[in-house]
């Protein structure tokens, strides 16, 4: 497993990561969903159940509706000030979605050049702060739960996924293709089986994400 014992594992992103987390963004002793009810909670549960001796502390800093620009605005408080040992970033869905559900609201859209520039700058800010450097950063693609690659929003999301791959390669960070993880399942089921809006996963969709992240962390 890539995570060293007693590591702090931080996830940051949008509503997919948020999934109803509490403000603290950590497991709550009174049994509420401190980490949310999505893939982050599943990752933490798996680590606790299978690697209890590792004592991995999982934190969730996903915020619903956020784009990469929103992440940049809170990066100091929600990433750097928390001093993670390993950081997982999954952002871009809203950057793309606003281009389709709010086509005239150009002020809330994040075009590819700005998306790449901002994500790249965040990685640069983070590398020096993480003990493991590039090996401690995992960049995950945004996704659209649609098997038809010619669908306009799916095609656009793939463009942003390619940007994530490029940024990860540029800095030697780790890379996770979440779209590929969904595509493997979409070969057998309809998208609405996994997400009614093809964005916000049902439990099985979050399990797909959790499995992908755990595999990328070497925990499966």
Dump pLDDT digits (tens) for 163-214: 999 999 999 999 999 999 999 999 999 999 999 999 999 999 999 999 999 9
Which element (helix H / strand E) includes 10? strand 8-13
Q: Is residue 102 part of a domain?
A: yes
Q: Is residue 207 part of a domain?
A: yes
pLDDT at 32: 65
Enumerate residues 6+ apart whose C-beta is below 8 A from 142: 90, 91, 92, 93, 95, 96, 157, 160, 161, 164, 178, 179
If one counts the domains in the chain, the total is 1
Q: How many other β-carbons are positioned within 10 Å of the β-carbon of residue 160?
A: 25
Dump pLDDT digits (tens) for 44-76: 999 999 999 999 999 999 999 999 999 999 999
pLDDT at 44: 96
* Model pTM score: 0.96
The CATH number covering residue 14 comes to 3.40.50.1110
Strands 86-90 and 8-13: parallel
- CA geometry: angle 70, 198, 65, nearest 5 deg: 15
Q: Is 63 helix (H, G, I), strand (E, B) or coil?
A: coil
pLDDT at 14: 98
Structural domain boundaries, residue 151: 8-216
Give the total residue count for the chain: 220
Q: Is residue 3 part of a domain?
A: no
The catalytic residue positions are: 15, 197, 200
Q: Is residue 77 part of a domain?
A: yes
Q: Is residue 2 part of a domain?
A: no
Q: Is residue 211 part of a domain?
A: yes
Q: Is residue 14 part of a domain?
A: yes
- Kindly state the tokens that stand for 127: 């590398």
Q: Is residue 1 part of a domain?
A: no
The band of 31, judged by pLDDT with boundaries at 50, 70 and 90, is: low
């Amino acid at each position: 497993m890539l995570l060293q014992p007693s590591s702090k594992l931080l996830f940051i992103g949008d509503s997919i990561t948020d999934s109803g987390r509490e403000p603290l963004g950590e497991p709550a002793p009174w049994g509420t969903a401190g980490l949310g009810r999505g893939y982050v909670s599943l990752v933490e549960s798996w680590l606790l159940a299978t690697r209890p001796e590792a004592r991995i502390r999982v934190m969730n800093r996903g915020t619903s509706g956020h784009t990469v620009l929103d992440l940049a605005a809170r990066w100091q408080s929600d990433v750097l000030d928390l001093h993670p040992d390993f950081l997982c970033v999954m952002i871009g869905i809203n950057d793309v979605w606003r281009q389709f559900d709010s086509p005239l609201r150009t002020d809330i859209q994040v075009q590819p050049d700005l998306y790449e520039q901002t994500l790249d700058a965040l990685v640069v800010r983070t590398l020096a702060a993480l003990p493991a450097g590039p090996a401690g950063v995992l960049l995950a693609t945004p996704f659209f739960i649609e098997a038809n690659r010619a669908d306009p929003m799916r095609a656009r999301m793939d463009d942003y996924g390619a940007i994530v791959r490029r940024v990860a390669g540029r800095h030697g960070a780790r890379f996770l293709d979440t779209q590929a993880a969904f595509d493997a399942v979409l070969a057998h089921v309809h998208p609405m089986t996994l997400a009614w809006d093809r964005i916000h996963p049902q439990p099985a969709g979050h399990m797909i994400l959790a499995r992908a992240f755990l595999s990328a962390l070497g925990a499966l």
